Amino acid sequence: MEIPNESLQEIVEGKTKLLVPKGSITEKVPPKEPAFFNPKAKLNRDFSIIAYAGFLENFQGPKIFLEG
């Protein structure tokens, strides 16, 4: 699925840059297609990164993460 650049908006969270559909930012209920992005979940994403970073400091095994 090709998404026109003019329908995307760049979001920066920390060191991460995301290109998300403008509808995810402007519409009351963000669309699920072509991609879903919930800007109100920023705090949850921040806490997840803190938890992962703390976990990885002492973990010696393979580091595999999956969102599912």
Instruction: Say what the pLDDT of residue 31 is.
Output: 66
- 0.85 exceeded by the pTM? no
Please report the pLDDT score of residue 67 as a whole number. Answer: 63
Query: Which distant-in-sequence residues (6+ apart) come within 8 Å of 25 by Cβ?
Result: 9, 11, 37, 39
Q: What pLDDT does 47 receive?
A: 92
Mean per-residue pLDDT pooled into runs of 10, the chain (68 residues):
73 85 75 72 88 86 70
pLDDT at 8: 86
Whole-number pLDDT of residue 56: 85
